[in-house]
Structure 1
């Protein structure tokens, strides 16, 4: 059985960016996470200790988003390293991090990065 825990369109205001203006005024970001976790035991026990709490995942992501970085690649790397460290039950992570309305003189909703990592 494959099972996943998801967090969709989680919004943050943060100060990531290469440009000086981005680090001063900040921007809106969205994160989508898909975490491969075996939830079979939790299906039987109805006990949160037998799964990964999405509330705890959110708090970990929120903490990493609060640390300014120039590159979304760097922020994403910190988030996945933290999730693998804090939640040993996570087998794989698919993360999409997007900056809304990036300052690039384009008619664009967002720009970002997508990572898919498997615990080694």
Structure 2
């Protein structure tokens, strides 16, 4: 195995949640569908060598942390996106770089629009 490879990117794409984020009263009552995309750069040397799940970043834990934050209502996508990012960094201190993108599907904008998204990087 190539000893030069050290870091890699893990992506959890299009995790779907139904949640109640938004500034309008209707959004807090009716809710909406959200898609969450996570990209995590981390050192993969150990799991590449051992083939042991205990040495790898646990995708299930990532999903569960995102789900927990999505269940807490926020007015702004910026706020919930930052909470997701903070939670992941707190639970996985070995993260070297992180991108979190949250998309609100069919936002109430007074016209047709597929989604609106907020992306944060750290």
What TM-score bracket applies, with the shorter chain setting the length? Answer: over 0.9
CA RMSD across the alignment: 0.8
Indicate conservation of the 8 Å contact 1:38/1:51, yes or no: no
Partner of 1:107: 112
Matches within 5 A, 1:1-120: 1=5, 2-117=7-122
Indicate conservation of the 8 Å contact 1:10/1:30, yes or no: yes
Partner secondary structure for residue 96 of structure 2 = strand
Runs of 5+ consecutive residues of structure 2 not aligned to the other structure: none
What TM-score comes out, normalization by structure 2 length? 0.92
Indicate conservation of the 8 Å contact 1:57/1:83, yes or no: yes
Q: Which has the larger radius of gyration?
A: 2
Where do 4+ consecutive residues of structure 1 move more than 2 Å?
none
What TM-score comes out, normalization by structure 1 length? 0.94
Instruction: Deviation per CA, 1:36-86: give whole Å up to 9, x if none.
Output: 111111011011221211111000000000000000000011100000001
Instruction: Deviation per CA, 1:74-119: give whole Å up to 9, x if none.
Output: 00111000000011121111111000000012221100101111xx
- Number of residue-to-residue matches in the alignment: 117
